[in-house]
Amino acid sequence: MKLEKLSNFVKRPGPLVFIVMDGIGDTDKIEGNAVKSALTPTLDKLKKTALYTRIKAHGTAVGLPDDTDMGNSEVGHNAFGAGRVFAQGAKLVNKSIESGSLFRGEVWNNLINNCKANNSKLHFLGLFSDGNVHSNISHLKAMIIKAAELGIKDICVHILLDGRDVGETSALEYVDPFEEFIKETNSKYNVNCRIASGGGRMKITMDRYEADWNMVKLGWDTHIHGNARKFRSAREAIETYRKEINGVIDQDLPAFVIVNDAGEPLGKVTDGDSFIFFNFRGDRAIEISKAFEMDDFDKFDRGKRPKVMYAGMMEYDGDAHIPKTYLVSPPAIDQTIGELFARNGIKQYAISETQKFGHVTYFWNGNRTGKFDDKLEEYVEITSDILPFEQRPWMKAAEITDAVIKAILSKEWDFIRLNFANGDMVGHTGVYQAAEIAVETVDLCLARILKAVDEVKGIAIITADHGNADEMYELDKKGNISINKSTGEPKAKTAHTLNPVPFIIYDPLYKGEYVINDNIKTPGLTNASAVCINLLGYKKPDIYDESLIKFV
């Protein structure tokens, strides 16, 4: 892993600062574009005066099945860190199901045999949509059919409503067809499959980075113990909450439990059951997995912890081995630039707030927890606020900026990477004005950081991992804004976008030594890694994708 120095370029005196403006895509479309309508003098000036291009941040460019798949922060930071494309979660699971390898695996067969031996229930829990970011409902259906074919008679499905990676109020577009699917499956195979519990993904179960363990507790109480508001069907729960909570979107719907005529939950988890968490993405699956598996768990009172056989769709944390058993192996991402730099004595500083801290560390390092070299690396987490992001769209950008400026001026670090979460986390709320403020906040922080870069004669790379705030309204198939019939207002979009992202190099000492490489047919996030290596004064290794710059 020895890096070879460039003969025609020497590292600048100051550090290379890699800035990820999470969720800030780059498109010329005007309507619904909070990035365009926001006041962004810093970005506007950079696009005119610095080296600037656009790069692809979705689909095949980041290892997803096809170009209709939105990028996300996890695969985006994997791509930045890896410098080449690896097949990602959805693609790996698709192949595993299509080939049948998932169903031939030891874990799947142990889960099935456990149910048969104990005459017990098989439970499925996960994000209930085809957003293909955390999960895909097609994977759930395939497993239910296979389980039914293998003779499992009692199947419970615990649904986490999306409204974030898909339409914000699209829950019934998944629930209604799924109920028909269940009806047909039950009739064909003589099984008892049903939806047992649920709730919005930002209300229960799917917390990440230990930002709000109460979300996980609410999910545990709902799915495991059947303790939540009772309804006769998922449709009834969704419609009732929508009537009672003005403007609520799917991701924020409260927990619910489905009960029988006697008011008893249809899917409480009991000793001897098997349980599958069918999300393939790791960040929002780790905490609930810990609740199932850890004997010395102390984050909340689990009550009576049922003795179940638990498995995740994938291994969500490869270093901590969470969960202990899983159905599909994650991509083996090796020789990331984090490791490459550590092995070559390049000092690294990584920072973000809680919501994206794992992205500049764990995901950047190829789904690896911890540092490569404690002496050469420092990771800083700024604690996120626990409240709706539209209420505080500036989030912790100022605190991150303060720390980054201090790190730049210290001249201690060669490579500094940071993530501003604002464009993504606030974009997910669907609140346009808040998204504008989020983008403006990032722009203000950029100006402060660039001033420090000037002072020490460093270089800054400004980019994003995917779009979000750049498309705040739902579009129809013709690309026109969808209108909410009840309000007459544009329908808010809370999902990521398929738009490219900016890639900007700000170099105060630039004298034309390099230019944007126009020989790459479809430049993407992975091509940014080689730029980092180049601007630190080294040749890229052969295994890395082509650099976005070329020396002249």
Nearest to 273, CA basis, from 480, 61, 476, 122: 122
Contacts of 146 (CB under 8 A, 6+ apart): 103
376 Cβ partners below 8 Å, 6+ apart? 341, 342, 345, 346, 347, 348
- Apex CA 102: angle with CA 293 and CA 199, to 5°? 50
Q: HEC string of 235-268?
A: HHHHHHHHHHCCCCCHHHCCCEEEECCCCCECCC
Q: Which of 73, 129, 170, 547 is catalytic?
A: 73
Q: What are phi and psi of 463, to 5 degrees?
A: -155, -165
The DSSP symbol for 359 reads I
Asked if 486 is an active-site residue, the reply is: no
3 state DSSP class of 461: strand
Reduce the secondary structure of 191-251 to three states and give it as a string. Answer: CEEEEEEEEECCCCCCCCCCCCHHHHHHHHHHHCCCCCCEECCHHHHHHHHHHHCCCCCHH
Taking Cα atoms as reference points, which of 365, 381, 384, 382 lies closest to residue 373? Answer: 365
For residue 230, the tally of other CB atoms under 10 A from its CB is 16
Q: Which residues of 68-96 are buried (b: 16+ CB within 10 A; e: fewer)?
A: ebbbbbbbbbbbbbbbbbbebbbbbbbeb
Distance CA 64, CA 69 (A): 7
Alpha-carbon distance 278 to 155, whole Å?
14
Residues acting as catalytic residues: 73
